Amino acid sequence: MVNVQCSMKKMKVLVATEKPFSKVAVDGIKAVTDAAGYELVLLEKYTEKSQLLDAVKDADAMIIRSDKVDGEVLDAAKQLKIVVRAGAGYDNIDLAAATAHNVVAMNTPGQNANSVAELVFGLLVFGIRNFFNGTSGTELKGKKLGILAFGNVGRNVARIAKGFGMDIAAYDAFCPAEVIEAAGVKAAKSQDELFETCDIVSLHIPATPETKQSINYDLVGKMKKGGILVNTARKEVIDEPGLIKLMQEREDLKYLTDIKPDADAEFAKFEGRYFATPKKMGAQTAEANVNAGIAAANQIVGFLEKGITKFQVNK
């Protein structure tokens, strides 16, 4: 059980963001921590792990984004009681190490989902119009979109796709077909079926031992001629050598992502068929920063003051 008793010392909340929040989000976080009587410390755009190790030394709570919190960080964070990943995916936190250090780990599910979903369509319009190179592209209307995983982002993608007049299908190993159908989306029976039947597949799966490198040569190879794969999930889910081999063999396929692959230079050779944003951009809107950042701050206050553990992801 984590000790959440308050002492006379001010609680210190560290915002450690290699990719900073917008100012309006930081102001919102500060308003929450000020109201609780906590001290807020910012470590933004840090370039060395040593800076993080130094900054966490006396932090009671920490808000992060894709920043890595591993055993070494937790060893250095002697006072830490809670770390909140302001966002959905928490594969950047060593959960077992957090539990071993008596640190509660949380995420803020759904808070940046619309932002990520809107970026999917930004990438798609750019991709399907041939990267705005002046040639005639095609339209999203009438195309079949496959959504892999029907969580918060997948559902927002489906909502927006309806406005484009797309034919929408989804597959989620953990979400019943009835729930998908109730959202007005066709439920594919399998991941294979989704890839076989859709013109475009958008990935919204987390990076887990089961999903890592699961988007591979065979699976993407099932896509129809002219297929587009969009990845705003995690680079780890892609079998990069497999996708490179496939794109070499099939000049009709496009890969669009906001997470630079490790093999970016190899992919970059597929001119006009590959695009990656320089930084992960899915959740990089003022609105998403405000939603996720303030939710994280509120979750910290709720935990430290009342022991609320909703959204805890480690046990």
Q: Is 242 helix (H, G, I), strand (E, B) or coil?
A: helix
Please give the residues from 111 up to 150 whose contact with ligand 3PG meets the rule CB under 6 A: 112
User: Smallest distance, Å, CB 31 to ligand 3PG?
Assistant: 20
Kindly indicate which of the ranges 31-39, 73-81, 87-95, 120-128 contains the residues binding ligand 3PG, using the contact rule CB under 6 A: 87-95
Applying CB under 6 A, among 282, 291, 303, 311 the residue interacting with ligand 3PG is 282
Distance CA 216, CA 29 (A): 40
Distance CA 253, CA 200 (A): 10
CA of 39: how far to CAs of 12, 84, 107, 127, 199, in Å? 5, 16, 21, 45, 51
Q: Does residue 87 interact with ligand 3PG by CB under 6 A? A: yes
Q: Is 219 helix (H, G, I), strand (E, B) or coil?
A: helix
User: Smallest distance, Å, CB 45 to ligand 3PG?
Assistant: 13
Is the CB of 206 or the CB of 226 nearer to ligand 3PG? 206
Structural tokens at position 192: 């294979």
Is the CB of 32 or the CB of 86 nearer to ligand 3PG? 86
Q: Is 248 helix (H, G, I), strand (E, B) or coil?
A: helix
Are 105 and 309 in contact, with CB atoms under 8 Å apart? no
Q: Does residue 293 interact with ligand 3PG by CB under 6 A? A: no
Are 291 and 114 in contact, with CB atoms under 8 Å apart? no
Distance CA 202, CA 179 (A): 19
Is the CB of 28 or the CB of 282 nearer to ligand 3PG? 282
Tell me the torsion sign for CA atoms 27, 32, 34, 35.
positive
Please give the residues from 47 up to 76 whose contact with ligand 3PG meets the rule CB under 6 A: 65-66
Q: What is the DSSP letter of 171?
A: E
Nearest to 258 by CA among 224, 218, 285: 285
Length of the chain measured in residues: 315
Binding residues for ligand 3PG, how many (CB under 6 A)?
A: 11
Q: Does residue 89 interact with ligand 3PG by CB under 6 A? A: yes
Applying CB under 6 A, among 59, 83, 88, 106 the residue interacting with ligand 3PG is 88
Q: Does residue 283 interact with ligand 3PG by CB under 6 A? A: yes
Q: Which residue is nearest to ligand 3PG (CB)?
A: 87
Is the CB of 63 or the CB of 128 nearer to ligand 3PG? 63
User: Pattern 94-113, binding to ligand 3PG, x per CB under 6 A?
Assistant: ------------------x-
Tell me the torsion sign for CA atoms 78, 82, 86, 89.
positive
Q: Does residue 280 interact with ligand 3PG by CB under 6 A? A: yes
Is the CB of 114 or the CB of 273 nearer to ligand 3PG? 114
Please give the residues from 17 up to 36 whose contact with ligand 3PG meets the rule CB under 6 A: 19
Residues that bind ligand 3PG (CB under 6 A): 19, 65-66, 87-89, 112, 280, 282-284
